Amino acid sequence: MIAAKFVSSILIKSTAVKLAVSLALFASVAGAKTGDLPFEDYLRKQEDVSVRKLLANISPRDGAAGAVIASPSRQDPDYYFHWVRDAGLVMDPVVTMYSQARGADKQRLGKILSDYAGFSRQLQQTPTLTGLGEPKFHVDGRAFNGPWGRPQNDGPALRALSLTRWAKQLLRENQRPYVTSKLYKAEIPAKTVIKADLEYVAHHWRERGFDLWEEVSGRHFYTRAMQRAALEEGSDLARALGDGAAAGFYLAQAREIRRAMDDHWDARRGRIVQTLDRDGGAEYKESGLDVATVLAAIHGGWEDGPFSALDERVLATAGQLEAAFHREYPINRRGLPATAIGRYPEDRYYGGNPWVLTIAAYAELNYRLATTLAKRPPAALSPRQVDYLRSAIGSRPELAGVFPKSGRMQLARGSAAHGAIVKGLKERGDEFLRRIRVHSHPDGSLDEQIRRDNGYMTSARDLTWSYASFLTAVWSRPSP
């Protein structure tokens, strides 16, 4: 499912639906308020709002073409900057829209992506305090040299990841000359945006840096996951463009990162620990629990295998996080759908609240798990996988007695239990999106956070990442 309305209608082809979409960048929200709609209609309406709000935050009038503002908020907090990380995450859904668009709409989306690639290359060449690991810039492309957590090495990986996915789409459209001149050219020193980022990631992934939340310095699971994903995708692109030596080097580094990610698994506590080798930052983050581990499984794009949504370590960590947030937030004890999810249990920023993007991440986690189990169910579920499923969907009447009290569980494809589990996971994902609906503004606007005590939205308004996270979640929703 892709955005339901754009100014000029085009036809989107997908495996399940054909939707008319448009590129209304600054149109006002029309029709019913999102809270007044049946759930399926709400999803389409919120999708439309999210597309338009997201695109409105790209190429601001007082900034450079291709810049992505984290939020229009300029004070309390001031998010009117281009964060390399946020922009990479935001552009991924734009790539998805581009890949399914036609005609004038495809040209407009292509222009947005081309502007972003050009602006990104400009930033790579801008003198900064930390080179390509610089976390954020002014919207006109000037370096931000104020105090900040530096370097942040997830940004180059995420930028490479989104642009590599676009480059692969362009190659399918026979646009190789553009790809090799602007995105990836097999030359050292690198003079194209993807090549420069991949070289940086491949040579710097062992170094410490600041985490996803810009608070702790060390070696981080999320950063490593994004570096691994970027190098895996980049290896494919390099090979397709005849850069075989680089392809082999990128893949070798990705495999080393994959092995290093295993170090984050704490078997004694049964959780993935976000940060190892801490050497500075917020000392009060003690549990090691962090929703960044769930985001890593989603943003990496792995359908199955190590650290995908099906990985028992990811599910065990997700279960512990949800239980901690249920205890932590008063708003979770009011009988509302699902659980409002925050960043980590010890969070103090803005009082330590649930975030829209982290709630959406749990919707996407359950949707991805449902899709994987529907397509490729393992012959047996491990005890940790069973524990997650029991906690997430075990209270549903149709699943009464399905899950063993402990141990492994056989899962026969096409069985009643198999179908009920897949259905239950989809409905569980829906509950998290219903939770976002409860707290969103009447017109569907989404801020950064939700106050832990009363459920009202707070912090940065119209957070671009909030809209991106809703879109990737709803686009991961299994078809009926």
Which residues are catalytic, by number? Answer: 211, 214
d(CA 22, CA 388): 39
Asked if residues 49 and 29 have their Cβ atoms less than 8 Å apart, the reply is yes
**What is the three-class DSSP state of 381?**
strand
Please, is 71 exposed, middle or buried when counting C-beta atoms within 10 Å of its C-beta (0-12, 13-18, 19+)?
buried
The per-residue DSSP string of 74-105 comes to: BSSSB--SEEHHHHHHHHHHHHHHHHH--HHH
Determine how many CB atoms are found less than 10 A away from the CB of residue 446.
Answer: 26
d(CA 199, CA 480): 42
Closest listed residue to residue 334, CA positions, set 429, 427, 425, 435: 435
Q: Which two tokens stand for residue 360?
A: 């959406």
Residue type, 64: A
Distances (CA, A) of 145 to 116, 142, 155, 315, 414: 22, 9, 17, 39, 58
d(CA 410, CA 402): 10
Please, is 412 exposed, middle or buried when counting C-beta atoms within 10 Å of its C-beta (0-12, 13-18, 19+)?
exposed
d(CA 149, CA 159): 19
Count of all residues that appear for the chain in the document: 480
Angle at CA of residue 219, ends 215 and 220, nearest 5° = 70
d(CA 106, CA 162): 17
Asked if residues 469 and 357 have their Cβ atoms less than 8 Å apart, the reply is yes
CA 450 to chain centre: 19
Asked if residues 410 and 386 have their Cβ atoms less than 8 Å apart, the reply is no
State the DSSP H helix or E strand holding residue 165, giving kind and residue range, or none if neither. Answer: helix 154-172
Residue type, 475: W
Q: Is the peptide bond before 397 cis (omega within 30 degrees of 0)?
A: no
